[in-house]
């Protein structure tokens, strides 16, 4: 079905040229680790372009349709799951305003795939396009971007919630926590711009140069774009091992090395931040146990500090072992949406989130990634991401944080602004 060609990268700009070359296609998924060391890393970067087949659906029976598509295709498929697929799993609804209008699920079987590890690239081409690989390589190596100097318009970013409205809603969430309805919930707010055009690739490259995140993504499906600087893995499957790496706990960074180290140590010992993380670890353990071989769920790392360009984060790593015949989509179905973006207990948290948030999350706090022909998969969490609908000229980014009994609305709001900083800088130049 596919032929494979291996090539040693000669040019130091190959990755940049490859991504620029990909823009001629209607469907593009670019996944970049930015050379972060990952305990469970697979590739340094991956590119998939040009759909041969695909699936687009709303939330109704979405996971059944994805399972059928993945089972029948038995090939690489790339795409995304939006947060609102929760409505397929539980008696939940999403009735908020949606300025982006992304389909709720989209996957495609690419004609051309590039897998990069260090200086070696594997090209996996469907046989129908196999005779193009040499000319493609030559084109990529010689690619020079035709720079069109557009006058960048001033982007007017609006807040969906004022600071006071945000505090009022967090206090309502705290009332739910004090009543015992939930222990923790992730509350998010949207920042947006209407009647605005951006250059998606240039915007992504600026965001990536600032953030250098381990799960960075450039996604394009016709006029829908996701430009992501995500630091978080949602779920990975390698053989029979399943890996989840939720992030909960954030501290800002300092340019002063001594102060930065102090902020790092402070985060590691902060009881509120640790409790946020540990609650989600318990939730993930419970989710993974639904498909795991009995006794195989383990916490590999608990509240480890990872440092990124903008922030320090607490990350935990939870693993499980599944049976060889367990369908990949079943594993995702039993853990979706990810605990770090919902709360505990999960269903109660999602109901309260829906009641208090102002906009439909859509692809934000969903996942982008791929399934391999053998049923392995790897998906990020769509956070620290700019979403763009080029047809209706709507730009959006959302940020959120975990609300627990110890949360202070003002501090939570400040944490949101820290997380939003890179996206705002990029859009406002």
pLDDT (tens digit, 9 = 90+) per residue, 46-94?
A: 999 999 999 999 999 999 999 999 999 999 999 999 999 999 999 999 9
- For residue 337, which of 413, 417, 294, 280 has the smallest C-alpha distance? 280
Question: What is the per-residue pLDDT for 144?
Answer: 79
The catalytically annotated residue of 248, 351, 360, 419 is 248
The answer, yes or no, to whether residue 372 has pLDDT greater than 60, is yes
The catalytically annotated residue of 232, 354, 412, 415 is 232
283 pLDDT band (50/70/90 cuts)? very high
Number of domains in the chain: 1
Question: What is the per-residue pLDDT for 263?
Answer: 96
Task: Give yes or no: 248 in active site.
Answer: yes
Q: What CATH number corresponds to the domain at position 326?
A: 3.60.120.10
Task: Give yes or no: 153 in active site.
Answer: no
Phi, psi of 353, deg, nearest 5: -55, -45
The answer, yes or no, to whether residue 151 has pLDDT greater than 70, is no
Question: What is the per-residue pLDDT for 154?
Answer: 74
Burial class (CB in 10 A: 0-12, 13-18, 19+), 253: middle
Q: What is the pTM of this model?
A: 0.96
Using alpha carbons only, what angle is made at residue 43 by residues 28 and 374, rounded to the nearest 5 degrees?
Answer: 80
Q: Give mean pLDDT, residues 238-255.
A: 95
244 pLDDT band (50/70/90 cuts)? very high
pLDDT (tens digit, 9 = 90+) per residue, 386-396?
A: 999 999 999 99
pLDDT (tens digit, 9 = 90+) per residue, 99-129?
A: 999 999 999 999 999 999 999 999 999 999 9
> For 135-149, 226-240, 401-415, which range has the lowest pLDDT when averaged over its residues?
135-149
The answer, yes or no, to whether residue 149 has pLDDT greater than 70, is no
Mean pLDDT computed over every residue of the chain: 95
146 pLDDT band (50/70/90 cuts)? low
Q: Which two tokens stand for residue 168?
A: 């009022």
373 pLDDT band (50/70/90 cuts)? very high
The answer, yes or no, to whether residue 153 has pLDDT greater than 80, is no
- For residue 224, which of 405, 385, 62 has the smallest C-alpha distance? 385
- For residue 267, which of 231, 303, 316, 309 has the smallest C-alpha distance? 303
The answer, yes or no, to whether residue 148 has pLDDT greater than 60, is no
Question: What is the per-residue pLDDT for 400?
Answer: 94
Question: What is the per-residue pLDDT for 36?
Answer: 85
Q: Parallel, antiparallel, or unpaired: how do β-strands 77-81 and 120-126 relate? A: unpaired
- Annotate the chain with three-state secondary structure: CEEEEEEECCCCCHHHHHHHHHCCCCEEEEEECCCCCCCCCCCCEEEEEEEEEEEEECCCCHHHHHHHHHHHHCCCEEEEECHHHHHHHCCCCCCCECCCCCCCEEEEEEEEEEEEECCEEEEEEEHHHHHHHHHHHHHHHCCCCCCCCCCCCCCCCEECCCHHHHHHHHHHHHHHHHHCCCCEEEEEEEEEECCCCCCHHHHHHHHHHHHCCCEEEEEEECCEEEEEEECCEEEEEECCEEEEECEEEEEECCCCHHHHHHHHHHHHHCHHHHHHHHHHHHHHHHHHHCCECCCCCEEEEEEEEEECCCEEEEEEEEEEEECCCCCHHHHHHCCCCCHHHCEECHHHHHHHHHHHCCECCCCCCCEEEEECCCCCEEEECCCCEEEEECCCCEEEEEEEEEECCCCCHHHHHHHHHHHHHHHHHHHHC
Phi, psi of 275, deg, nearest 5: -65, -35
147 pLDDT band (50/70/90 cuts)? low
Positive or negative, the CA dihedral 366, 372, 378, 384 is: negative
Domain ranges, residue 294: 2-428
Positive or negative, the CA dihedral 60, 64, 66, 72 is: negative
Share of the chain above pLDDT 90, in %: 93
Phi, psi of 357, deg, nearest 5: -75, 160
pLDDT (tens digit, 9 = 90+) per residue, 315-371?
A: 999 999 999 999 999 999 999 999 999 999 999 999 999 999 999 999 999 999 999
pLDDT (tens digit, 9 = 90+) per residue, 14-41?
A: 999 999 999 999 999 999 999 887 677 7
């Amino acid at each position: 079905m596919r032929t494979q060609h291996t090539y040693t990268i000669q040019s130091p700009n190959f990755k940049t040229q490859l991504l620029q070359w990909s823009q001629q296609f209607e469907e593009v998924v670019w996944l970049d680790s930015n050379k972060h060391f990952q305990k469970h890393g697979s590739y340094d970067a991956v590119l998939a372009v040009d759909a041969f087949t695909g699936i687009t659906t709303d939330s109704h029976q979405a996971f059944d349709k994805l399972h059928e598509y993945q089972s029948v295709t038995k090939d690489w498929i790339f795409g995304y799951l939006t947060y609102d697929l929760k409505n397929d799993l539980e008696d939940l609804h999403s009735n908020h305003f949606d300025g982006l209008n992304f389909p709720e699920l989209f996957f495609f079987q690419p004609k051309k795939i590039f897998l990069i590890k260090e200086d070696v690239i594997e090209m996996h081409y469907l046989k129908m396009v196999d005779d193009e690989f040499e000319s493609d390589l030559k084109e990529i190596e010689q690619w020079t971007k035709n720079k069109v100097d557009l006058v960048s318009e001033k982007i007017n970013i609006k807040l969906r919630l004022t600071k006071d409205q945000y505090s009022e809603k967090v206090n309502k969430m705290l009332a739910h926590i004090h009543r015992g309805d939930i222990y923790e919930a992730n509350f998010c707010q949207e920042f947006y711009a209407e009647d605005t055009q951006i250059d998606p690739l240039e915007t992504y490259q600026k965001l990536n140069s600032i953030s250098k995140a381990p799960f960075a993504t450039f996604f394009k499906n016709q006029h829908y774009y996701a430009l992501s600087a995500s630091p978080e893995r949602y779920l990975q499957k390698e053989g029979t091992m399943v890996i989840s790496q939720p992030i909960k706990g954030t501290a800002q960074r300092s340019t002063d090395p001594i102060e930065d180290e102090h902020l790092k140590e402070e985060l590691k010992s902060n009881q509120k931040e640790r409790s946020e993380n540990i609650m989600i670890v318990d939730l993930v353990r419970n989710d993974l146990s639904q498909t795991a071989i009995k006794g195989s769920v383990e916490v590999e790392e608990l509240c480890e500090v990872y440092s990124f360009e903008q922030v320090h984060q607490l990350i935990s790593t939870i693993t499980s072992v599944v049976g060889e015949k367990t369908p990949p989509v079943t594993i995702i179905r039993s853990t979706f949406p990810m605990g770090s973006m919902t709360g505990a207990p999960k269903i109660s948290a999602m109901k309260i989130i829906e009641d208090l948030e102002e906009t439909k999350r859509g692809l934000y706090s969903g996942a982008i990634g791929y399934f391999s022909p053998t049923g392995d998969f790897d998906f990020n969490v769509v956070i620290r991401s700019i979403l763009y609908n080029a047809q209706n000229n709507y730009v959006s980014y959302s940020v959120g944080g975990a609300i627990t009994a110890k949360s202070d609305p003002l501090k939570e709001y400040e944490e949101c602004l820290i997380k939003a900083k890179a996206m705002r800088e990029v859009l406002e130049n």
